[in-house]
A and B are shown apart, each in its own frame.
Chain A
Amino acid sequence: MTDVDALAAEPLFGLPLADLWFGLLFFILGTFLFLDGFDFGAGALFATREDAEEREQLLAAIGPFWDGNEVWLVVFGGAMFAAFPSVYANLFSRHYLLMFAILGALIVRGLSPEMYEQRHDETWQTWWGRAFVVGSLTAPFFLGMFTANWLLGATTIVTLPGIIVGLALVALTVVDGAAFLRLKTRGDLRDDLRTDGYRALAAYLVLVVATIGSVYVAAPDLRAGLFSAPVVALVVATLTLAGVYAMATREDRYYLAFGAAAGLVFALVGIVAGLMYPAIDRAGGLTVESAIVSTLPLNLMSIGAAILLPLVFGYFAVLYSTFSGPIEAGESY
């Protein structure tokens, strides 16, 4: 038996690789929403600052990070394509126009900070500043709609739970962004961001309740899932983390607040994954087991991910430690 035959025969070490990839997929989605989430949040909070110097600080805070953060979306797409190609095909072609709305929002958001810094005249910066805000608000909103539609198996673009989850994700990115920016700023700006964080957190909690209510109404087959142990535990975790965030923000424990924001993002993604499993594409009638690729490519991908993902976290550790702490005066995007 050659090595290839062995790899084609059964999953590595007898691991439940299909379920692991389902989990990994949502972990990657969560990582993207957490990391690029604070970039989105910084974009939304950009709208609340009038002062040119403060605006520069917000841009400088995310400057070295955002493109690395956004790569998690590319990895999410790639991982879904590699592990669940039929889901990738069904889901994205079904949400055709929504996908293009997401891509359009990401183009505007990715481009605008770079363009903002290219010229220092008022009209130019006003318009690219607006583009930055619009892109930063619409990207998480459309991503939230997409996630809700994916969970519900919706075949139309606009659904009520979709809109609520979209708004919830916008609020959550502002919570995340405020926590991140408090790590990176000083003085009045840092104090103002405390209030922004509280308000966004309150909005988020209201929207989580609305999300649960709307899913209960819109998807009778998910009702049992809403009261399953993992989902209830994650809802409780959300409330706890919200408490931790508020407490840590009040006491200026910046890293704890940032950690709580991360926890909130992963809890939301966990709720979606928990409600969805064992299906992975309800509208397409696909389960994790039926959509997973065959054993040989699955094993190869698993070996690849097991080697590469720790390396990737290593790169991020280098990047984030290089640019840790509040930005220095004069540092620009």
Chain B
Amino acid sequence: MIDPVLASRLQFALTTIVHIIFPVMSMGLAPFLVYFTWKDIRTGEPIYEQLRRFWTKIFAVSFVVGTVTGIVLEFEFGTNFAAFSTTAGELFGGPLALEGMMAFMLEATFLGVFVFGRERVGDALYMVSAVAVGLGTWLSAVWILIANSWMQTPRGYELVTENDQVIVTLVDPIAAYANPRFPWMFVHMQNAAVESVALFMAGLGAYFVFRHHVWGYPVENVDFWETTLKFGLIALIVTAPLQVIHGDLYARHVFETQPQKFAAMEAVWVTDTYVPEYIVAFPTSLTDLLDPRAKSVFGIGIPGGASWLASGGDPQATIQGLEEFEGPQPPVAIVFWAFRIMVALGFWFILLAVWGGYRWWRGELLEDDLLHRALMLSAPLGIVAVELGWIVTEVGRQPWVIQDVMRTSDGVSPGLTGAEATLTLAGFAVVYLGLLTLYAYVVARIVRAGPPDVDGSAARDAPETPASEVSVDD
């Protein structure tokens, strides 16, 4: 049997890592769907109806799988992290309750109208439902990130003892909920979601464009895929540079507020000045791979880069080493490598955006097969970067569940047995991997079925014609 603390942590990590994929898809798709719906209603051009209906199918599947995996996360705070919930619930429960009432309700109810109601409601209400669904997905992120960011930079609370238990009590709601980390997390996360969907769209579009124009297979609806490629590319050109810019500012903020996490990101063990930033890092031996140290990693680094990054411009700045922090350290290897790969991906996405933008400008977008291959291979990488980013955020703050307030090991349910925790961990490993496979399978089927046939005016002129949005087989 695995120890209940470790099993609970693994279970939370597993369920979160799988769950986050689906909100990323819905948050990232939301602005596209609002735009496609708007254009569909305003112009009546068939391409926008196709785009709306095709991406709504993907959205609907993502939403369903996101719902069933997300309910689990909410209840895991009670089942596996009861001590954390008792201690922090006064401050932490509110945002979760508000997420349910304000955001999830808006999204889930109007999704019914948006997915099933095109023939039953007028244009105005249909547009309202698209906006409401999109707003719901983004408001969800607001409340979840308020709760999470408070754990990173806790403010506005006092610790009091009630019935022999130390309880976090709320004293300043504005300081607590508008805490310093929140804006960084929100901007970085939402931009990442749109960027991930942009990459997915561009990669998918590139695949069919490549088949058609390079391999010469006849592809039905090639216009649809070309347009998809272009929308993905436009969104990538906007989001990719922004992601790196506020990512840099965010890292500086982490240095100021969570120096231990920053030291783990850079694998700095001994306090030093003029710390280099390794853009590309190679281990000099296997030991360095599993236990990276800034001093012993061989890499192509910018001298003084990490110091420069942390301080906002001073290459001589001092970075506190991990040795200065008492108690257990975060697993440095995971944080160091996750951070490095995420940053590398961020720059790769900028390169793709520039490359694609340049080819498009030259009128060669449909001909560059190397670009198409690169886009195809990069289709899932936005989500990979999001996962790595969350690993840096969550693993990097260990051993704390609430930074400098409560250790993760103290947050686990006191009565939980190793047998119970191991059993559910094993169960979730099977179920969540199954869900992931099923999701990939269903999305692949939707893609293979392609966009629905529309004549542009059918939906408006013939209200009797049923049109299912969810089923692929109609």
A-contacting residues, B53-102, CB 8 Å: 60-61, 63-65, 67-72, 74-75, 77-80, 82-83, 85-86, 88-94, 96-102
B384 to chain A, nearest CB (A): 24
Given A64-B117, A97-B423, A100-B427: A75 in contact with B468 (beta carbons within 8 A) = no
B116 near A63 (CB under 8 angstroms)? Answer: yes
In the complex, identify which listed stretch (A161-169, A181-189, A316-324) lies at the interface while the others stay far away: A316-324
Instruction: Name A71's contact: one of B69, B105, B472 (CB within 8 Å).
Output: B105
B85 near A115 (CB under 8 angstroms)? Answer: no
Complex formed: what's the CA distance from A65 to B105 in Å? 11
Given A81-B77, A304-B101, A323-B117: A293 in contact with B90 (beta carbons within 8 A) = yes
The residue on B at minimum CB distance from A102 is: B75
Q: Does B110 contact A (CB under 8 A)?
A: yes
B100 near A75 (CB under 8 angstroms)? Answer: yes
CB-CB under 8 A from A329, the residues of chain B are 466
CB-CB under 8 A from A107, the residues of chain B are 68-69, 72, 431, 435
CB-CB under 8 A from B67, the residues of chain A are 67, 70, 110
A-contacting residues, B113-130, CB 8 Å: 113, 115-117, 120-121, 125
A78 near B78 (CB under 8 angstroms)? Answer: no
In the complex, identify which listed stretch (A82-90, A222-230, A262-270) lies at the interface while the others stay far away: A82-90
Instruction: Name B75's contact: one of A71, A75, A77, A300 (CB within 8 Å).
Output: A77
Complex formed: what's the CA distance from A301 to B470 in Å? 37
Complex formed: what's the CA distance from A62 to B65 in Å? 17
B297 to chain A, nearest CB (A): 42
- Interface flags, A44-88, vs B, CB<8A=1, else 0: 000000000000000000011101101101110111111101101
In the complex, identify which listed stretch (B167-175, B191-199, B357-365) lies at the interface while the others stay far away: B167-175
A315 near B109 (CB under 8 angstroms)? Answer: yes
Complex formed: what's the CA distance from A162 to B82 in Å? 23
A-contacting residues, B422-474, CB 8 Å: 423-424, 427, 431, 435, 438, 442, 445, 466, 468, 470-474
The residue on A at minimum CB distance from B104 is: A71
Complex formed: what's the CA distance from A110 to B70 in Å? 12
In the complex, identify which listed stretch (A117-125, A198-206, A213-221, A245-253) lies at the interface while the others stay far away: A117-125
Q: Does B413 contact A (CB under 8 A)?
A: yes
B83 near A89 (CB under 8 angstroms)? Answer: yes
Given A67-B112, A96-B79, A107-B431: A117 in contact with B121 (beta carbons within 8 A) = no
Additional 19 contacts, C-beta under 8 A, given A68-B108, A94-B415: A63-B116, A67-B112, A70-B108, A75-B105, A77-B75, A81-B74, A81-B77, A82-B93, A85-B92, A85-B93, A96-B79, A114-B60, A117-B471, A308-B101, A319-B113, A323-B112, A332-B470, A332-B471, A333-B470
Closest 9 CB pairs of A and B: A85-B89, A92-B78, A64-B112, A78-B97, A81-B93, A82-B93, A89-B82, A330-B466, A93-B82
Binding site for A on B (CB under 8 A): 60-61, 63-65, 67-72, 74-75, 77-80, 82-83, 85-86, 88-94, 96-102, 104-106, 108-113, 115-117, 120-121, 125, 132, 163, 169-174, 413-416, 420, 423-424, 427, 431, 435, 438, 442, 445, 466, 468, 470-474
What are 16 contact pairs spanning A and B, CB under 8 A?
A: A64-B116, A67-B112, A71-B108, A74-B74, A78-B100, A82-B94, A88-B93, A89-B89, A96-B79, A97-B423, A97-B424, A300-B94, A312-B101, A315-B105, A322-B121, A323-B112
